[in-house]
Chains A and B, each alone.
Chain A
Amino acid sequence: MIYLELFLSFVKIGFTSFGGMSMVPVIMEEMGRHGWMSAGDISNLIAIAEMTPGSLGVNCATFAGTQTAGFLGGLAAVTGVLTPAFTLTLAVAVFFARFRTSGVMKAVLTVVKPICIGMILLVILTLGEGSFFPQGRFDYVAALIAVVCFVLIRWKKVSVPLLIGLSAAMGIVCYGLLGLG
């Protein structure tokens, strides 16, 4: 059953994510494994999740679930991605005083965070290939847009929704009006 599969996939995604973009590699893997979404879809998913209000995790789950199996699919995916909060975090809340002083999660994060970064680097490779080499040809416009955006986000602290709007405008001008690429 598709709803149960979506739910279970997002339970896995929820329990193996440790903040922000660390969720993206596992989403990509689960979507690809079930044939629900391609790498290009994932790129759109990230853009849409970052542009709309709400956390990246909830937005990704809703979009991926709704794309795959309609409104109920979205609901199943969101319930899945919230499962850690309703179980593990609730347990932590109950034993808050004891958990706070224990170093066990700190030890786990020290090891898992670097692993997440390694996985995110792999995602960058996959998405970069899709964006910069569509159909095997080098798309210098997309590469240029990426460089400009990276500079803006790292050194000018431009907000992400604004950056996505800017890059959409650049895409329309360069590909649509000027016929480049």
Chain B
Amino acid sequence: MSKSKLKIGLELFWIFLKIGCFTFGSGWSVLAQLEQEFVDKRKAITKSDLLELTTVGKSVPGIMITNICMLFGYQMGGWFGGVCAVVGLTVPAVFILTAVTFFYDAVKGNPWFGYAMRGIGGAVVAIISGAAVSLGKEALRRWSAVLICAAAFLLGLLTDISNIALILIGVVGALCWYGVRLGLEKKKGGDGK
């Protein structure tokens, strides 16, 4: 590894460490900070490039924001840059959550904490329902998608099929569908566009 890449990596680690301390509300706040730091201030990347990284990062399995940081870090400083960006972003969260977990264990038996958690239990159902509605608006635009969703729901409800198996079936099905479509397009032989 060249010395300059090492330096870029360490710099990325430090910047993402700072960003990682203030990432409330999912990954979108990280993106806003990335834009401020690298598009506006350093002019290291254009806004449209950052958007493209986001689109690709969203389509790879895993945590969206760590995927985007990996892609971004790689563009800046190779694989080492990518790893530094991801680790930097993650370290603050790990320390904060470890502290929170020990605190949670300490107050778990307290009745007042129990009352608060019962109230929060209602909120969590609402939060996930809200997330499901937003996701549904985006992903259930076609009847075929609604059917797939209903089939997954019923299979999960009525059989012992695991969630991982459901997703794998979906991935394999999608790859077959993609392959068939690609084959058909090739057969048509490039007429039209």
Contacts and interface: CB of A to CB of B under 8 A. Distances in A.
Interface of A: 12, 14-26, 29, 40, 43-44, 46-50, 52-59, 62-63, 66-67, 71, 74-75, 78, 81-86, 88-90, 92-94, 96, 99-100, 103-125, 127-128, 130-132, 134, 139, 141-150, 152-154, 159-161, 163-164, 166-172, 174-176, 181
B139 A113 contact: yes
A119 B163 contact: yes
Contact of A19 (B64, B101, B128): B64
Contact of B123 (A113, A130, A139, A145): A145
Contacts of A124: 125, 128-129, 132
B60 interface: yes
Contacts of B63: 14, 17, 23, 55-58, 81-82, 84-85
A169 B164 CA distance: 37
Q: Secondary structure of the A side of the interface? A: helix
- Top 7 nearest A-B pairs (CB, nearest first) are A171-B119, A54-B93, A118-B152, A84-B62, A167-B123, A145-B122, A149-B126
Contacts of B173: 111
Q: Secondary structure of the B side of the interface? A: helix
Nearest to A161: B24
Contact of A47 (B120, B133, B177): B120
Nearest to B171: A108
A148 to B, nearest CB: 8
B60 A146 contact: no
A55 B101 contact: no
B149 A118 contact: yes
B23 A55 contact: yes
Interface in B62-79: 62-67, 69-71, 74-75, 79
A90 B79 contact: yes
A85 B125 contact: no
A44 B104 contact: yes
Contacts of B167: 16, 26, 112, 115-116
A71 B102 CA distance: 10
B174 A29 contact: no
A18 B155 CA distance: 20
Given A117-B135, A181-B118, 12 more contacts: A43-B121, A54-B96, A58-B94, A63-B97, A82-B66, A84-B62, A84-B67, A86-B83, A96-B71, A112-B170, A117-B152, A118-B148
- Counting chain A CB atoms within 10 Å of each CB, which of B60, B136, B171 scores highest? B60
Contacts of A114: 139-140, 145-146, 148-149, 152
Contacts of B181: 107
Contacts of B131: 20-21, 120
B26 interface: yes
B142 to A, nearest CB: 9
Contact of A46 (B27, B105, B124): B124
